[in-house]
Amino acid sequence: MPKPKILIINDDGIDAPGIYALYEAVKDYADTTIVAPSTERSGSGSSITVTNPLLLHKHLWGDKEVYSVTGTPADCVKIAMHTVCEKPDLILSGINPGSNAGRSIFYSGTLGGIVEGANKEIPGIAFSQHDFLQKDFSKAQKYILPIVKYFQGNIPKGTIINISFPSLKEGSYKGFKITKQGLGFWQDNPEKRPHPHRSDDYYWLGVRYQEHPDDKETDVDYINQGYITATPLNVWDLTHYEYIKEHSQKFENFFQTLNQK
């Protein structure tokens, strides 16, 4: 039986320890291709590069050829499929240091890359570890392959899976939870600083995670309790159907009212 073809990406760059941990977890199970940004692109979301050229560089991890792209995670998916590999069976992204739970998904380059894959009808799983300062992925790493095997073939078109590992300095994870997206998000925290060579100031945007009081039985809630969470996200359809139902006739009538004036 042929091995599944897996494309591995991230938003922290080709030299980040998280992507190497992800590769190590699945390298014997799958035919892997690694294409990652050449530098850290955290916070890039689903953005793509259209005003600058993209460069593709080859690197070696031992005898494994891997690639970096001078662009975003979404760029990596686009370039990979046109220049490096055939259409993969699955895209894995991460392992990201820092939470991608709650509403932070809209900023996350870790998720942005697999959103690009979902738009190409390729299922994807994003992995993050809640503690930004914890760069040891060994405890999370042993759960990667079982999670991949569980979800492979069970991800509907247009859906991605967001996996979050809680902070775990000691002890063990409490278990698994499939759950809904929470409401926590990365709050703006800009810091004004004087420019050393000019008269004007500059800003270091910065962020801090903002908990939400209504986060109950969500990914944010269960991560804080010590569970590994899996959140299925439908990225093909963000339509608010209840709003359509409520306003469809009202909006049509509004148009008629304007024409009568």
User: What CATH code is assigned to 5-183+215-259?
Assistant: 3.40.1210.10
Q: Is 45 exposed, middle or buried (0-12, 13-18, 19+ CB in 10 A)?
A: buried
Q: What is the pLDDT of residues 165-223, one digit of tens each?
A: 998 766 789 999 999 988 766 666 777 777 787 778 877 766 666 676 667 889 889 99
Dihedral sign for Cα atoms in the order 40, 45, 49, 54: positive
- Is the whole-model pTM more than 0.95? no
172 or 73: which carries more pLDDT confidence? 73
pLDDT of residue 106: 83
pLDDT of residue 209: 65
pLDDT of residue 203: 74
Per-residue pLDDT for 53 more than 90? yes
Are 51 and 74 contacting, i.e. CB atoms less than 8 angstroms apart? no
pLDDT of residue 83: 94
User: Which residue type, as a one-letter code, is found at position 38?
Assistant: S
pLDDT of residue 43: 77
